Amino acid sequence: MTNSHASVRAVLFDFGGVIFDSPFDAFARYETANSLPKDFIRGLNATNPDVNAWAKFERTEVDFDSFCGLFEAEATAAGHTLDARAVMTALDGAVRPTMITALERLRAAGFKLAGLTNNVARASDSTASRSHADAHADLKNRFDVVIESSKVGVRKPEVRFYQMACEALAVAPPECVFLDDLGVNLKPAAAMGMRTIKVASAEQALHELGAAVMIDLS
Protein backbone atom coordinates (compact mmCIF):
# COMPACT_ATOMS: atom_id res chain seq x y z
CA MET A 1 0.00 0.00 0.00
CA THR A 2 1.26 3.48 -0.76
CA ASN A 3 1.09 6.21 1.83
CA SER A 4 -2.07 8.23 2.14
CA HIS A 5 -0.70 11.74 1.81
CA ALA A 6 1.54 12.36 -1.19
CA SER A 7 3.40 15.29 0.37
CA VAL A 8 4.41 13.32 3.48
CA ARG A 9 6.70 10.36 2.93
CA ALA A 10 8.35 9.97 6.32
CA VAL A 11 7.55 10.33 10.01
CA LEU A 12 10.36 10.99 12.49
CA PHE A 13 9.92 10.23 16.20
CA ASP A 14 11.81 11.26 19.29
CA PHE A 15 11.99 8.45 21.86
CA GLY A 16 11.88 9.76 25.45
CA GLY A 17 8.68 11.73 26.00
CA VAL A 18 7.17 10.48 22.74
CA ILE A 19 7.51 6.71 22.31
CA PHE A 20 8.58 6.25 25.93
CA ASP A 21 7.34 8.08 29.01
CA SER A 22 9.10 11.39 29.55
CA PRO A 23 12.48 11.36 31.31
CA PHE A 24 11.31 14.55 33.01
CA ASP A 25 8.89 12.43 35.03
CA ALA A 26 11.86 10.40 36.25
CA PHE A 27 13.74 13.59 37.13
CA ALA A 28 10.75 14.81 39.12
CA ARG A 29 10.53 11.55 41.07
CA TYR A 30 14.24 11.71 41.89
CA GLU A 31 13.94 15.34 43.00
CA THR A 32 11.00 14.56 45.27
CA ALA A 33 12.73 11.55 46.80
CA ASN A 34 15.92 13.50 47.42
CA SER A 35 14.50 16.85 48.55
CA LEU A 36 15.74 18.76 45.53
CA PRO A 37 13.94 21.82 44.13
CA LYS A 38 11.35 21.15 41.43
CA ASP A 39 12.94 21.05 37.94
CA PHE A 40 16.46 21.28 39.38
CA ILE A 41 17.81 18.58 37.03
CA ARG A 42 16.09 20.09 33.99
CA GLY A 43 17.66 23.39 34.96
CA LEU A 44 21.12 21.82 35.03
CA ASN A 45 20.61 20.36 31.57
CA ALA A 46 19.36 23.70 30.23
CA THR A 47 22.46 25.54 31.47
CA ASN A 48 25.16 25.71 28.77
CA PRO A 49 23.15 23.07 26.85
CA ASP A 50 25.72 22.53 24.10
CA VAL A 51 28.73 21.95 26.34
CA ASN A 52 27.43 20.74 29.71
CA ALA A 53 27.95 17.24 31.08
CA TRP A 54 24.75 15.84 29.61
CA ALA A 55 25.51 17.20 26.13
CA LYS A 56 29.03 15.79 26.21
CA PHE A 57 27.75 12.39 27.31
CA GLU A 58 25.07 12.29 24.59
CA ARG A 59 27.79 12.92 22.00
CA THR A 60 30.04 10.30 23.69
CA GLU A 61 32.71 12.91 24.28
CA VAL A 62 33.11 11.62 27.84
CA ASP A 63 32.69 8.16 29.36
CA PHE A 64 30.16 7.30 32.06
CA ASP A 65 32.46 7.86 35.03
CA SER A 66 33.61 11.21 33.66
CA PHE A 67 30.01 12.23 33.01
CA CYS A 68 29.04 11.40 36.59
CA GLY A 69 31.85 13.54 37.95
CA LEU A 70 31.01 16.47 35.70
CA PHE A 71 27.27 16.24 36.31
CA GLU A 72 27.65 16.07 40.08
CA ALA A 73 30.06 19.03 39.96
CA GLU A 74 27.48 21.05 38.02
CA ALA A 75 24.87 20.21 40.64
CA THR A 76 27.19 21.27 43.44
CA ALA A 77 27.94 24.55 41.66
CA ALA A 78 24.18 25.11 41.40
CA GLY A 79 23.79 24.67 45.15
CA HIS A 80 22.71 21.04 45.61
CA THR A 81 24.12 17.52 45.49
CA LEU A 82 22.89 14.51 43.54
CA ASP A 83 23.97 10.98 42.68
CA ALA A 84 24.46 10.89 38.91
CA ARG A 85 24.34 7.10 38.76
CA ALA A 86 21.01 7.05 40.58
CA VAL A 87 19.61 9.68 38.21
CA MET A 88 20.60 7.59 35.19
CA THR A 89 19.09 4.42 36.66
CA ALA A 90 15.79 6.26 37.15
CA LEU A 91 15.50 7.09 33.44
CA ASP A 92 14.11 3.74 32.30
CA GLY A 93 10.65 4.84 31.15
CA ALA A 94 7.78 2.66 29.93
CA VAL A 95 6.79 2.27 26.30
CA ARG A 96 3.51 3.94 25.27
CA PRO A 97 1.43 1.20 23.58
CA THR A 98 -0.59 3.66 21.50
CA MET A 99 2.61 4.87 19.88
CA ILE A 100 3.60 1.32 18.94
CA THR A 101 0.19 0.82 17.33
CA ALA A 102 0.67 4.06 15.41
CA LEU A 103 4.06 2.88 14.14
CA GLU A 104 2.47 -0.31 12.86
CA ARG A 105 -0.29 1.59 11.04
CA LEU A 106 2.16 4.04 9.51
CA ARG A 107 4.41 1.25 8.26
CA ALA A 108 1.41 -0.62 6.81
CA ALA A 109 0.46 2.57 4.96
CA GLY A 110 3.90 2.81 3.38
CA PHE A 111 5.47 5.66 5.32
CA LYS A 112 9.19 5.67 6.05
CA LEU A 113 9.96 5.75 9.77
CA ALA A 114 12.92 7.11 11.70
CA GLY A 115 13.78 7.37 15.38
CA LEU A 116 15.79 10.44 16.40
CA THR A 117 17.12 10.18 19.93
CA ASN A 118 19.55 12.04 22.12
CA ASN A 119 20.79 9.11 24.17
CA VAL A 120 23.74 7.89 26.17
CA ALA A 121 25.75 4.69 26.25
CA ARG A 122 25.00 3.11 29.61
CA ALA A 123 26.53 -0.10 30.85
CA SER A 124 24.67 -1.81 33.67
CA ASP A 125 23.94 -5.34 34.81
CA SER A 126 20.71 -4.38 36.58
CA THR A 127 17.53 -6.21 35.61
CA ALA A 128 15.77 -2.90 34.99
CA SER A 129 18.48 -1.69 32.60
CA ARG A 130 18.52 -4.99 30.70
CA SER A 131 14.74 -4.84 30.36
CA HIS A 132 14.92 -1.28 29.08
CA ALA A 133 17.66 -2.24 26.63
CA ASP A 134 15.47 -5.07 25.33
CA ALA A 135 12.57 -2.65 24.87
CA HIS A 136 14.82 -0.28 22.91
CA ALA A 137 16.09 -3.11 20.71
CA ASP A 138 12.53 -4.17 19.89
CA LEU A 139 11.59 -0.57 19.18
CA LYS A 140 14.52 0.01 16.83
CA ASN A 141 13.37 -2.89 14.67
CA ARG A 142 10.18 -0.97 13.93
CA PHE A 143 12.06 1.85 12.20
CA ASP A 144 13.81 2.08 8.86
CA VAL A 145 16.60 4.00 10.54
CA VAL A 146 17.48 5.16 14.06
CA ILE A 147 19.80 8.13 14.57
CA GLU A 148 21.40 8.03 18.04
CA SER A 149 23.47 10.92 19.38
CA SER A 150 25.74 8.54 21.29
CA LYS A 151 26.69 6.82 18.02
CA VAL A 152 26.84 9.67 15.50
CA GLY A 153 28.51 12.28 17.70
CA VAL A 154 25.93 15.04 17.14
CA ARG A 155 22.65 15.67 18.94
CA LYS A 156 19.38 17.53 18.65
CA PRO A 157 19.00 20.45 18.08
CA GLU A 158 22.10 20.41 15.82
CA VAL A 159 20.94 20.64 12.20
CA ARG A 160 23.29 17.88 11.08
CA PHE A 161 21.33 15.41 13.21
CA TYR A 162 18.16 15.99 11.17
CA GLN A 163 20.08 16.00 7.91
CA MET A 164 21.41 12.52 8.72
CA ALA A 165 17.87 11.21 9.12
CA CYS A 166 16.74 12.68 5.80
CA GLU A 167 19.78 11.32 3.99
CA ALA A 168 19.29 7.85 5.47
CA LEU A 169 15.62 7.80 4.43
CA ALA A 170 16.28 9.46 1.04
CA VAL A 171 13.65 12.14 1.67
CA ALA A 172 13.62 15.93 1.70
CA PRO A 173 12.77 17.79 4.93
CA PRO A 174 9.40 19.07 3.60
CA GLU A 175 8.37 15.42 3.11
CA CYS A 176 8.77 14.73 6.84
CA VAL A 177 6.71 15.07 9.98
CA PHE A 178 8.76 15.21 13.18
CA LEU A 179 7.45 14.59 16.71
CA ASP A 180 9.35 15.71 19.82
CA ASP A 181 8.35 16.81 23.30
CA LEU A 182 10.82 19.73 23.34
CA GLY A 183 10.26 22.90 21.36
CA VAL A 184 14.00 23.56 21.16
CA ASN A 185 14.39 20.33 19.18
CA LEU A 186 11.51 21.16 16.85
CA LYS A 187 12.70 24.62 15.81
CA PRO A 188 15.60 23.51 13.56
CA ALA A 189 13.42 20.85 11.95
CA ALA A 190 10.72 23.42 11.21
CA ALA A 191 13.33 25.80 9.79
CA MET A 192 14.43 23.03 7.42
CA GLY A 193 10.84 22.69 6.19
CA MET A 194 9.60 19.74 8.25
CA ARG A 195 6.12 19.66 9.71
CA THR A 196 6.54 19.49 13.47
CA ILE A 197 4.37 18.29 16.33
CA LYS A 198 5.14 19.15 19.94
CA VAL A 199 4.08 16.19 22.05
CA ALA A 200 2.23 17.11 25.21
CA SER A 201 0.42 13.75 25.38
CA ALA A 202 0.24 10.66 23.21
CA GLU A 203 -3.43 11.30 22.45
CA GLN A 204 -2.85 14.90 21.31
CA ALA A 205 0.20 13.97 19.25
CA LEU A 206 -1.48 11.09 17.45
CA HIS A 207 -4.50 13.25 16.67
CA GLU A 208 -2.26 15.87 15.03
CA LEU A 209 -0.14 13.26 13.27
CA GLY A 210 -3.22 11.46 11.98
CA ALA A 211 -4.45 14.70 10.46
CA ALA A 212 -1.08 15.32 8.81
CA VAL A 213 -0.88 11.87 7.20
CA MET A 214 -4.63 11.36 6.78
CA ILE A 215 -4.74 8.09 8.77
CA ASP A 216 -6.75 7.34 11.90
CA LEU A 217 -4.05 6.83 14.55
CA SER A 218 -6.20 7.35 17.63
pLDDT digits (tens, 9 = 90+) for 131-154: 555 666 778 889 999 999 999 999
The model's pTM is 0.82
Q: Where are the beta strands (DSSP E) in the chain?
A: 10-13, 112-117, 145-148, 176-180, 195-198
3-state secondary structure of 143: coil
Are the C-beta atoms of residues 113 and 106 closer than 8 Å to each other?
A: yes
pLDDT above 50 for 2: no
Domains delineated in the chain: 10-21+94-213 (3.40.50.1000), 24-89 (1.10.150.240)
Instruction: State the virtual CA torsion across 4, 136, 61, 51 in degrees, nearest 10.
Output: 60
Question: Mean of the pLDDT values across residues 26-33?
Answer: 94
Tell how strand 112-117 and strand 10-13 pair up: parallel
- DSSP state letter for 175: G
pLDDT digits (tens, 9 = 90+) for 162-187: 999 999 999 999 999 999 999 999 99
